[in-house]
């Protein structure tokens, strides 16, 4: 096999390696360094550098180099390199533009009409001038590097924009959650006996949804529904909300309007989550069809509605109300258990009990239910009760 044929085959192999090296965005700088080693090996040069042109600062940055002094590379003038032409490798000779770098050949790197950078080589290990096919090969390599650098630049620009969008989204989420909490505070201000009720119901609902395996987007929607489920009470009179004596039938009808009022308010908001309005609207429905406002039953009730129904009822039972004393935790759990299949869903109850048991056992990093319960509760008694319910419901 002739020397020229051997070199041509080596060049083809080197280009294949180069293609593999620059197609991945992972560990870009390590990849581009391996590219330089392939190139210097192909041309038997002991000096090489790949430079990238930063449009924002109009300066050349060294992506990788071997054999050159960095100070020499820092003195390169990008405007003079741009004037040399597009993707045409040229021998430097005594050209003053490259005299300080000690380079012997330069391949400017362009994509279309845009200057991307430059490839420098020098310090040949063999005597004699470069052949014309070597310059052609260098042109091909420069084109490949141009594509790689351009793709990387586009990728980094996109990454920066995505990061900006992520920050903006997080800021909007904080504002959104602040608005929700302001709504909840306004509701609580009307009814002194339900202070922080919406917050607790949202936390309980999230804990259940997370244990059910919902994704974070769905969980956030459940959180929003929990916060806004009673927003319709803003349209109910303070006198009625804070009444100590039992409600008359007319007053009870008026109070029950709050779920429809909540739905009317939330339908005016363009939520990015599904079913928030439906969950808010129907959180007082029952499995047996005896709830309100639409007397829905069983298959008509989504898991979101079933979660909020249980969370809302549990917090109502464990909170002080003007017309009754609050229940202790074990009594409230017993009441939920007694109304399974008529008012509350077995699956949701099982998950709720599992979450509370995990919190009592310290198995969750951030408890959502336990911190809001009576601190005087006997956790061992509650734990035994939960264990019995979990065993019972798991067997069904």
Summarize pLDDT for 178-209 with one digit per residue, the tens.
777 777 777 767 766 667 888 899 999 999 99
Is 191-394 in the same CATH topology as 3-161?
Answer: no
Architecture of domain 3-161 in this structure: 2-Layer Sandwich (3.30)
Distance (Å, whole) CA 141 – CA 377: 74
> pLDDT tens digits for 235-254?
888 888 888 888 899 999 99
Residue 43 has pLDDT above 50, yes or no: yes
- The alpha carbon of residue 88 and the mean position of all alpha carbons in its chain are separated, in whole angstroms, by 45
Which pLDDT value is given to residue 361?
94
Domain boundaries, the chain: 3-161, 191-394
Distance (Å, whole) CA 308 – CA 212: 14
Residue 90 has pLDDT above 70, yes or no: no
Instruction: Average the pLDDT over 128-136 and give the result.
Output: 70
Architecture of domain 191-394 in this structure: Orthogonal Bundle (1.10)
Q: Which two tokens stand for residue 198?
A: 């919406």
Residue 260 has pLDDT above 90, yes or no: yes
Instruction: Average the pLDDT over 288-313 and give the result.
Output: 96
Instruction: Average the pLDDT over 51-80 and give the result.
Output: 85
Q: Phi, psi (5° rounding) for residue 360?
A: -65, -35
CA-based nearest residue to 115, from 55, 156, 68, 61: 55
Evaluate whether 303 touches 218 at the Cβ level (below 8 Å): no
pTM beyond 0.85? no
Q: Phi, psi (5° rounding) for residue 296?
A: -75, 160
E-assigned strands of the chain?
45-54, 59-66, 90-91, 105-111, 114-124
Instruction: Average the pLDDT over 257-261 and give the result.
Output: 92
Which pLDDT value is given to residue 21?
47
> pLDDT tens digits for 204-235?
999 999 999 999 999 999 999 998 899 888 88
Instruction: Average the pLDDT over 66-93 and give the result.
Output: 76
Helix and strand counts by DSSP (H, E) for the chain? 15, 5
- The HSE-up count of residue 265 (CA atoms within 13 Å, CB side) is 18
Q: Bridge-partner residues for 61, per DSSP?
A: 52
More confident residue, 251 or 155: 251
pLDDT category at 23 given cuts 50, 70, 90 is: very low
Q: What share of the chain is helix, strand, coil (3-state, %, to 5)?
A: 60, 10, 30
Helix axes 346-360, 197-211, angle to 10 degrees: 100
Which pLDDT value is given to residue 337?
96
Q: Which two tokens stand for residue 190?
A: 């009307």
Which pLDDT value is given to residue 204?
97
Q: Which two tokens stand for residue 133?
A: 């096919």
């Amino acid at each position: 096999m002739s020397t020229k044929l051997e070199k041509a085959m080596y060049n083809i192999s080197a280009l294949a390696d180069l293609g593999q090296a620059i197609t991945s965005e992972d560990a870009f700088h390590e990849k581009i360094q391996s590219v330089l080693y392939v190139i210097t090996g192909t041309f038997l040069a002991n000096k090489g550098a790949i430079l990238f042109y930063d449009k924002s600062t109009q300066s050349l940055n060294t992506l990788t180099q071997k054999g050159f002094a960095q100070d020499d590379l820092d003195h390169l003038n990008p405007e003079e390199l741009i004037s040399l032409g597009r993707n045409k490798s040229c021998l430097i000779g005594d050209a003053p533009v490259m005299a300080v770098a000690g380079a012997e050949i330069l391949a400017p790197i362009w994509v279309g009409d845009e200057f991307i950078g430059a490839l420098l080589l020098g310090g040949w290990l063999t005597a004699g001038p470069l052949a014309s096919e070597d310059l052609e090969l260098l042109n091909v390599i420069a084109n490949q590097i141009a594509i790689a650098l351009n793709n990387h630049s586009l990728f980094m620009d996109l990454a920066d924009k995505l990061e900006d969008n992520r920050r903006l989204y997080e800021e909007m989420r904080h504002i959104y959650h602040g608005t929700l909490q302001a709504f909840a505070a306004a509701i609580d201000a009307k009814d002194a006996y339900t202070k922080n009720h919406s917050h607790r119901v949202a936390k309980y609902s999230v804990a259940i949804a997370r244990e059910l395996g919902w994704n974070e987007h769905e969980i956030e929607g459940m959180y929003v529904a929990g916060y806004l489920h009673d927003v319709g009470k803003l349209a109910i009179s303070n006198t009625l909300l804070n009444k100590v004596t039992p409600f008359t039938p007319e007053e009870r009808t008026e109070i029950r309007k709050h779920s429809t009022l909540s739905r009317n308010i939330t339908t005016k908001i363009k939520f990015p989550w599904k079913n928030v309005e439906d969950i808010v609207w129907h959180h007082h429905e029952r499995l047996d069809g005896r709830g309100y406002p639409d007397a829905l039953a069983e298959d008509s009730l989504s898991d979101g509605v079933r979660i909020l129904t249980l969370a809302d009822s549990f917090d109502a039972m464990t909170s002080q109300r003007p017309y009754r004393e609050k229940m202790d935790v074990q009594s409230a759990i017993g009441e939920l258990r007694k109304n399974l299949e008529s008012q509350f869903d077995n699956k949701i109850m099982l998950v709720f009990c599992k979450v509370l048991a995990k919190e009592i056992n310290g198995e969750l990093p951030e408890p959502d239910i336990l911190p809001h319960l009576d601190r005087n509760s006997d956790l061992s008694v509650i734990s035994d009760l939960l264990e019995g319910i979990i065993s019972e419901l798991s067997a069904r």
